[in-house]
Each structure stands twice: as structure tokens, then as C-alpha cells.
Structure 1
Amino acid sequence: MIQLQGVHKAFGRNKVLRGVDLTVPTGESMVIIGGSGTGKSVTLKCVLGLVTPDAGRITLDGQDVTRADRDAFLARFGMLFQGGALFDSLSVWQNVAFRLLRGHAKRPKAEAREIAIEKLRRVGLKPEVADLFPAELSGGMQKRVGLARAIAAEPEIIFFDEPTTGLDPIMAGVINELIREIVVEMGATAMTITHDMTSVRAIADKVAMLHDGVIKWTGPVAGMDQSGDPYLDQFIHGRAEGPIAAVR
């Protein structure tokens, strides 16, 4: 579904991506792990076309993402943002139905509201939540609303940016379980970036370790603990000593 070949990206003298090679098969959940500042978010932005690589090629179903029709291309994606990124001035249902109320996937208002309430129900929120505003919700509820919005237009591909950041362990577990269930139900292709190893083990089919601008290791989640890769081993076990230097 998604393929990156020799992708480079620098911002001034800061070389963030130094030749990323990665393949995400259709219908699988790929989780990219790595420390802060290793280029995980930049990788997602390159796939979405929000950032243009300096070199290399990124394809979606064999089509170069830099040459795709933008509206049709982006309509294939859903995204759960790290901070929720809900619109404060819109009600919950309007946030969930944001894409359905405009542009490529526009639906009649009543239909969009009905879909939004169904998606809220899917993530465990009652219909009466629909007319509240984001400020009236807890952090966990806001994250669920963000997940409902990500799936509202039935996307083929869903991106999850640090999906459990800021949540307590129990709510993080709930969100991880919802993500896994929804991705499987929809048959969607998923890409997640996170440093939460509990999330990795809960939602990944395959894992890619990004460090120093390149993929150091990729393989099935079940193979992480016996990978033999020193970078991956240090990261997943949180060891201070190893090839990844701690910033002091």
C-alpha cells in the first residue's frame, strides 16, 4: 500500500531523514518507533505530502504521492492527532463529521450528524455527548472523539500520531484496544508513530525502528524481543547504555 524508497529530508543543516526505506503492506498495522527528534512525524508528513522529500520516492498503490490529485489522495486517509486537535468552537458531532460537512465527502447535515453519532457509539461514547464541546470532555473522551473523527469517512489508511500521549495507563489501554479493533474491522492499513511500547505490542502487526534518519530494524512485532539488533534492544527495554546516546 505504502512504500518509501531512499527518502531524504533536511531542514537547513539538520538532516532528519537520511535514506528511509519502508514498505507498509495493505491491511497491516505498521508502528514506527524511535526517540524524540528521530524523524517519525516528518516521515508521516512526507507520506501525506505535507512535506516534500529532498530525494527518494514515496508511493501509494504504486502512485507517486507528489503527483497525486490532492483532494482524492487525502480523502483516502484518516488521522488521529497527538493532542486530539479538536476544534474548540465546534460541537463534538461537528468535529467528528468535519470532513463529511465539506469538500470531497460532503453529506447532508442530518446524515453527517447520524454518521457522527454512530462513530461516537463505536468508540464507546453515548449520543448525548454529541452536542457537548471539547472543553466539556475529559482527556480520554477527547481522544475517543479524535478516533471517531479519524474513521468517520471510512478511510482506507489511518495514521495515529502518539495515540496514548497524556492518558493514564487504563485509558491508554482502552484506546489501544479500540484502535486494534477498528483497524481490523475496517480492514484498514494503519501507520502509527509512538514511543509507548505498550501501544506497540497492542496494535502492531509489524514494527520499524527509526534512528538517525534511517530504519535500523523492521519485522513482526513478535520478533522484537529476539531481534538481536542493539538499537531496537536498547530502545524497547529503556536501557541507558547502548548505541543510542542519551541527550544530557
Structure 2
Amino acid sequence: MSFNVENQIALVTGANRGIGKSIVESLISHGAQKVYLAVRNIDSTQALVEQYKDRVVPIQLDVSKPSDIAAAAQVASDVTLVVNNAGVLELARPLSENFESAFAYEININVLGLVKMAQAFTPVLEKNSQDAGAAFVQLNSVASIKNFLDLTSYSASKAAAYTVTQGLKDELAEKGVHVLSVHPGPIDTDMAAQVGMEGESASVVGDGIVSALKAGDFHLFPDSLARDFGGAYQSFAQNIIEATVEEA
């Protein structure tokens, strides 16, 4: 199911910095009509508003708060593309004392936040898909298919989010909504710096999303490390993850 971002109206969670900000920039540069900047702190979007004027609309949205999500779905009732980028990361190994608290925090944002976003915005996307289609994009990670010891709780939360994304792919296809699962490796963001990793420019994610949506892909491995993962994973992804139950 191909989706062209040109002239579309999008909403991006966590849009004020890092990958989210880059996604906003890529969508606008590829012709998106308007982008809702869904953030916890409206003031953090000032630079984007100054740059893009009325092509961006800041709205309050904390994905841990169902009331925020419901209100955002009412305000952004014209969206045809939702990019759920907001996520959190804690350093926690399996035997770390903070594993339980870290995992609960990450599950609440990375998994339940995704579910709540999908539940609130699917009716909006379905309604608006009649003319030019609609799409839902979830930012997962290479950590969703390969555990990294120091990021064990995060990897587990992203593996769960990836599983939910697969379910959304099947359920939303029936409603005319395309789903894309994005699996970056290290990207030059505050989150990468938190774990002491250097990464590629966040623009590879934003531009990759635009291209993957147009191609009708389900998986996107946007950067060089992610593409190595994607190459090794490709056969399993095509023959198991993307196949129907009958085909698998």
C-alpha cells in the first residue's frame, strides 16, 4: 500500500528534537501540507514554528496520558499520517536493581503509548483515508530484534512494541491504513549520547520514512548499521513477519 506524503497532513509525537524534529523537517521538505508537533512542552517547538510558520501546529501530547491523546485526536482530526516517535530509554541489565522500574517506565511509554495512540487515531485515519490513503508509522529500533546487554529493558520494550506494530499492520490494512515499522541503529541524538554511542544524522530516518511509505514497505532499516541488521533479517522478515499465516 503506497503512501505519498505530498499534500498530506501529519502528526509527529516527540517532534521537538532528535529524530522527531528530523521527521518533521523531512515531511515538510517533501511537500506535507501541515504537521502537528505533538510534544509535552509547547515552548520547545518555538524554533520549528519560527522556521515553518503556519505549516506546523504545536499541540500538547504526553503519550503516557490518555486524556492528552484523546484531546490531540480531537484537535488533529484532519490527519492522514501519524508518526509515533516518542519513546524513552533506561540503562538496565537483567540483574540490575533498577530493571523492574526501568522496564515498567519503558513499557508504559514505548508500548502502551503506542497502543493508546493507535486506538485514538485509527478512526481518524480511517475516516480521512478515503481520498489519498493514510498511514501510521511506529519508531521501533534494531534493539527490537537484537538485545543489547546494557539496554535489556529497553530492548524488551521495543520487542513488544514491534510485536504490537505487526498486529497493527494486519488490523489497519483492513481499514485502508498502511503501517510502517522503523528500526534505526545509533542515530546522532540525545538518546544515543545517553548510552555513549555515536550515530548517523537523524535525517536518514526522516527521509527514509518518506521513501519507505512511498514504496509501501512495512520495515525500514534507515542507517548503515540498521541496514546490516535488515540484510541479515530480510529472509525471516519476508517469509515469516510479512507473510500471512497461511503463507508462513
Q: TM-score, normalised by structure 1?
A: 0.34
Structure with the largest fraction of strand: 1
Larger Rg: 1
Higher relative contact order at CA 8 Å, sep ≥6: structure 1 or structure 2? Answer: 1
Q: TM-score, normalised by structure 2?
A: 0.34
Structure with the largest fraction of helix: 2
